Chain A
Amino acid sequence: MTIPAIPRRIDVIRTFKEQGGYVAAVLPIHYPRSLLRAFNILPVEVWGPPGIKARDGAKHLQPYVCSIVHNALSFLQSGGLDITDILIVPHTCDSLQGLGSILLDFVSPKQPVIPIYLPRGKRESDVDFFANELRSIYRQLEAITGHSPTDADLLQSIYREEAADKLLSELHRCRRNLPFSNLAFYRLLRNREHLPAETFMELAQKALAQKVDTTQDGGIPILLSGIVPEPMSLLGAISQMGGVVAADDLACCGRRLYPPGQSDDPFRRIAERILYAPPDPTRGNSIKERLEHLLQLVETSGAKGVIFYEVKFCEPELFDLPQLRQGLQEAGLPSLTIEMDLNDPLSHQALTRLEAFLEMIQ
């Protein structure tokens, strides 16, 4: 059985625009999808993209800034985002803060730039602040699009995204009962980065319809942590070496399994969803919370080891590694760290270490 047919990203964008919608290019990691969709704006995420010539970005950014930020700026400057109408830059880290700021002050792209400040906690004050921040984004989107969605419109949009996220969680939960390879499975999941929720749900339902009762793969189960599994050949390599990604703590995937909100106020509800999502260092969750979450993922997935697959220069990730790895070790779980740059293929050294790690935990 195969993965359901996936529409091409560019076709999705064109179709959405032909139907009168707007398209927003969105940088990592967390942002209010439902708020954008209520304005008939389709968010299309930009995780780099990998493997492009990062020359243009190098005119503005020092070499010690991560490749996701370098590539995003290069892609924008080379016209790769010309089709989009708005740029959304969440305040994820110091590097994205810098990018958002130079876009506003110096680069001045043709699209309006909207930065979003994400609070670094989940206290009541954080939720209140974030709800207010979202209200301010609402006003900016209102000015750009001329639309003023009502609370009912917003709630409808939120419920749709919640339904899509529920299916996404279901896909994660029963991944080992689906007949897909690591690579095919993550290709499917990552469609959430650009498909409208309704289209993604169709796709997810088709995939879930292929679910069987028995585990489909007999590989060595591992837990994959990090920002983004790029180049995606990593996933193929894990399969080839006999591994299977049984769970993930990836910023682009597992850390965005947003729970449903509680509040009836649409802005608070969006805030709750984002702030109560699985632990993420960029949202300030403690190392203890992260460790507990990883151990829980290991327990439910049966993972035998953890691979931290990190983007070079990514401070939010790098700070946590020693204590997380120590905590895992104390729980009897081996781990491996691999650093990558979006523009480089997987190195032989990385492949060899990966292979040795899988052999060791087998």
Chain B
Amino acid sequence: MSIGPALRYHWNVNLLGRAGLRWVRWQAERRVKRGAHGKSHILTPPLKISARTKELIGRHYLKGRYANLRGKVAWVTSGAPIEFLKALDFYLLYPENHGAVCGTTRTAVDICAQAENAGYSRDICSYARTDLGTMLSCQTPVGKLPKPDLLLTCTNICQTVLHWYRVLAHHFDVPLILIDTPFVYTETTDHSVAYVKRQLEEAIPIAEEVAGQSLDERKLKEVTRLSKLASELWLELLGRCRHRPAPISVFDQFIQMAPIVEMRGDNFTVDFYAAMLKEVDERIAQVIGAVKNERKRLLWDNLPVWYRLRYLAEFLGRHGVVIAASTYTNAWAELTPKMDPERPLESMARTYMYPILNRGTGDKLATMRQMIDDYRLDGVILHSDRSCKPYSVGQMDQRDRLIRDFGVPALLLEADHNDSRSFSKEQVANRLDAFIEMLEV
């Protein structure tokens, strides 16, 4: 890196930016202390650590804003095996996470419209539309996204990301690494695992060439170790929701999951989740629940409805209903502990083939069933996400089986994770009311 850009990066990120974000965090912490979030009689105020979450996310995007000055940038899918890129010092941007930021800040629809005006159909995933809208217009609530030098897409969450990243590759004219992970209908085969491992091996020289450096085996092991540690802490955190009352709800989890998705493999992510676990344990010791008057506990299936988190939390909370677990947040907890830092590539190949979205619909039902038992849940809300076919196809049968075979009340709720035009407040309220009545709260 030449001196000019290096100085600009250092000035903007490490000096000005860091100080600014610290100030914002300090203010947020004071607000939490003063109880400035309002005295809700429904929900417990957010975790104190939320101020730090904001700071982490802010810092991540701030680094991103200047990342092209500092080194190489890769855009990656949320389920991709990123450890080798991290070990090669890439700045990693997760367009899906950026999509979620656009969803929560309610800027997604405007940004999607940019993509739609350019001919992208409203029938494609709204994360993709959000990202393509940003690609075309540079519109984003985080200031500015860095341009990629490399793209990494992994089909372990969907085929959509393959089509989406092909579009990015065409637009930015940069190399696209594909890690194709054969779908596990019932059980995986040895030739599938060997295939994924070989693709990882073949990906390394491509990434090395873009990075202009060779992969250091020790660094890869270290990144893998940190990834694993953070995921284990995340798993523990989610497990704390087995307590009654649940100390945090999935709505808290949705907000707090950003670092585990986009900051895996970093030291500070491990520290962050260790601190969060401590705070959650304090809540448990003081018998504080996310919902003040917890009466029923539910499971959430599929992506969040990013632009309606607060609305849904309060709507359910009013009736004493907490959503204590979700197959979605669980996806970043259930896998990485299987990783072996001593055999990073082999273990990565197996691990990254197994996210919930790359397993059959029956297996997903079994996961839900297990979570219902583990977390002592009273019912399930299956968000039928118009955008996400791999998560949603199968839900109609899963709902029917939950009700018929296991006697668990289950509701299919039609929406979209990022496109609020597919969310009918009235319809959702009616369906939730009827469901809550059925739960006999």
Which residues from chain A sit less than 8 Å from chain B, CB to CB? Answer: 59-62, 64-65, 91, 93-95, 97-102, 104-107, 115, 117, 119-121, 123, 125-126, 128-129, 132-133, 136, 281-282, 284, 286-288, 312-313, 315-316, 318-323, 325
Most A C-beta atoms less than 10 A away, residue of B123, B401, B414: B123
Closest B residue to A339 using CB positions = B121
Do A281 and B396 touch across chains, with their CB atoms under 8 A apart? no
Closest A residue to B388 using CB positions = A94
Contacts A61-B396, A132-B191 given; indicate if A320 touches B180 (C-beta within 8 A).
Answer: no
3 nearest CB pairs, A to B: A98-B393, A105-B362, A322-B119
Interface string of B263-276 (1 = CB under 8 A from A): 00000000000000
Task: Give the contacts of B59-109 with A (CB-CB under 8 A).
Answer: none
- State the Cβ distance, B365 to closest chain A Cβ, in Å: 7
**Which residues does chain A contribute within 8 Å of B166, judged by CB atoms?**
281, 284, 286-287, 319-320
Question: 17 more A-B contacts (CB under 8 A) besides A97-B159, A105-B365, A318-B120?
Answer: A62-B393, A62-B396, A64-B123, A64-B386, A65-B389, A93-B159, A94-B160, A102-B361, A102-B397, A106-B401, A115-B183, A125-B198, A125-B199, A129-B182, A315-B123, A319-B160, A325-B119
Contacts A95-B393, A136-B191 given; indicate if A315 touches B163 (C-beta within 8 A).
Answer: yes
What is the bound-complex CA distance between A282 and B163, given in angstroms? 8
**Contacting residue for A315 out of B160, B182, B361, B395, CB 8 A:** B160
What is the bound-complex CA distance between A64 and B123, given in angstroms? 8
Do A98 and B118 touch across chains, with their CB atoms under 8 A apart? no
Closest A residue to B365 using CB positions = A105
**Which residues does chain A contribute within 8 Å of B164, judged by CB atoms?**
319
Q: List 16 A-B contacts (CB under 8 A).
A: A61-B396, A91-B183, A94-B393, A97-B183, A98-B394, A101-B362, A104-B362, A121-B178, A123-B202, A129-B195, A281-B163, A287-B169, A315-B124, A319-B166, A320-B163, A322-B119
Task: Give the contacts of B140-185 with A (CB-CB under 8 A).
Answer: 155, 158-160, 162-164, 166-167, 169-171, 176, 178, 180, 182-183, 185
**Which residues does chain A contribute within 8 Å of B169, judged by CB atoms?**
286-287
Do B163 and A101 touch across chains, with their CB atoms under 8 A apart? no
What is the bound-complex CA distance between A11 and B361, given in angstroms? 36
- State the Cβ distance, A317 to closest chain B Cβ, in Å: 9
B12 adjacent to chain A (CB < 8 Å): no
Do B119 and A321 touch across chains, with their CB atoms under 8 A apart? yes
Contacts A128-B195, A323-B167 given; indicate if A106 touches B119 (C-beta within 8 A).
Answer: no
**Which residues does chain B contribute within 8 Å of A128, judged by CB atoms?**
195, 198
Do B390 and A120 touch across chains, with their CB atoms under 8 A apart? no
Do A312 and B362 touch across chains, with their CB atoms under 8 A apart? no
Do B185 and A99 touch across chains, with their CB atoms under 8 A apart? no
Do A101 and B386 touch across chains, with their CB atoms under 8 A apart? no
**Which residues does chain B contribute within 8 Å of A104, judged by CB atoms?**
185-186, 360, 362
- State the Cβ distance, A325 to closest chain B Cβ, in Å: 7
What is the bound-complex CA distance between A62 and B382, given in angstroms? 13
Most B C-beta atoms less than 10 A away, residue of A60, A98, A132: A98
**Contacting residue for B162 out of A59, A136, A284, CB 8 A:** A284
Contacts A102-B393, A319-B167 given; indicate if A94 touches B123 (C-beta within 8 A).
Answer: no
**Which residues does chain B contribute within 8 Å of A101, judged by CB atoms?**
183, 185, 360-362, 393-394
What is the bound-complex CA distance between A126 and B309, given in angstroms? 41
**Which residues does chain B contribute within 8 Å of A315, judged by CB atoms?**
123-125, 159-160, 163, 389
Contacts A98-B390, A104-B362, A281-B163 given; indicate if A62 touches B384 (C-beta within 8 A).
Answer: yes
Most A C-beta atoms less than 10 A away, residue of B178, B384, B393: B393
Closest B residue to A91 using CB positions = B183
Contacts A106-B361, A119-B180, A287-B170 given; indicate if A318 touches B393 (C-beta within 8 A).
Answer: no
B192 adjacent to chain A (CB < 8 Å): yes
What is the bound-complex CA distance between A9 and B214, given in angstroms? 59
Closest A residue to B136 using CB positions = A322
B356 adjacent to chain A (CB < 8 Å): no
Do B128 and A319 touch across chains, with their CB atoms under 8 A apart? yes
**Which residues does chain A contribute within 8 Å of B199, judged by CB atoms?**
125
Closest A residue to B167 using CB positions = A319
What is the bound-complex CA distance between A136 and B192, given in angstroms? 11
What is the bound-complex CA distance between A64 and B385, given in angstroms? 9
Closest B residue to A282 using CB positions = B159
What is the bound-complex CA distance between A59 and B404, given in angstroms? 15
Task: Give the contacts of B354-395 with A (CB-CB under 8 A).
Answer: 360-363, 365, 384, 386, 389-390, 392-395
Contacts A65-B389, A102-B393 given; indicate if A316 touches B163 (C-beta within 8 A).
Answer: yes
Closest B residue to A284 using CB positions = B162
- State the Cβ distance, B160 to closest chain A Cβ, in Å: 6
Do A64 and B389 touch across chains, with their CB atoms under 8 A apart? yes
**Which residues does chain A contribute within 8 Å of B118, judged by CB atoms?**
322
B2 adjacent to chain A (CB < 8 Å): no
What is the bound-complex CA distance between A107 and B183, given in angstroms? 19
**Which residues does chain B contribute within 8 Å of A99, judged by CB atoms?**
393
B189 adjacent to chain A (CB < 8 Å): yes
Closest A residue to B180 using CB positions = A120
Closest A residue to B202 using CB positions = A125
What is the bound-complex CA distance between A62 and B363, given in angstroms? 20
Closest B residue to A130 using CB positions = B195
Closest B residue to A97 using CB positions = B183
What is the bound-complex CA distance between A106 and B389, given in angstroms? 17
Do B178 and A94 touch across chains, with their CB atoms under 8 A apart? no
**Which residues does chain A contribute within 8 Å of B389, judged by CB atoms?**
64-65, 94-95, 98, 315
**Which residues does chain B contribute within 8 Å of A98, judged by CB atoms?**
361, 389-390, 393-394
Do B361 and A312 touch across chains, with their CB atoms under 8 A apart? no
Task: Give the contacts of B400-421 with A (CB-CB under 8 A).
Answer: 401, 414
Contacts A94-B389, A133-B191 given; indicate if A120 touches B401 (C-beta within 8 A).
Answer: no
**Which residues does chain A contribute within 8 Å of B120, judged by CB atoms?**
318-319, 321-322
- State the Cβ distance, A58 to closest chain B Cβ, in Å: 9
- State the Cβ distance, B424 to closest chain A Cβ, in Å: 14
Closest B residue to A288 using CB positions = B170
Most B C-beta atoms less than 10 A away, residue of A94, A321, A322, A325: A94
Do B124 and A287 touch across chains, with their CB atoms under 8 A apart? no
**Which residues does chain B contribute within 8 Å of A62, judged by CB atoms?**
384, 386, 392-393, 395-396, 414
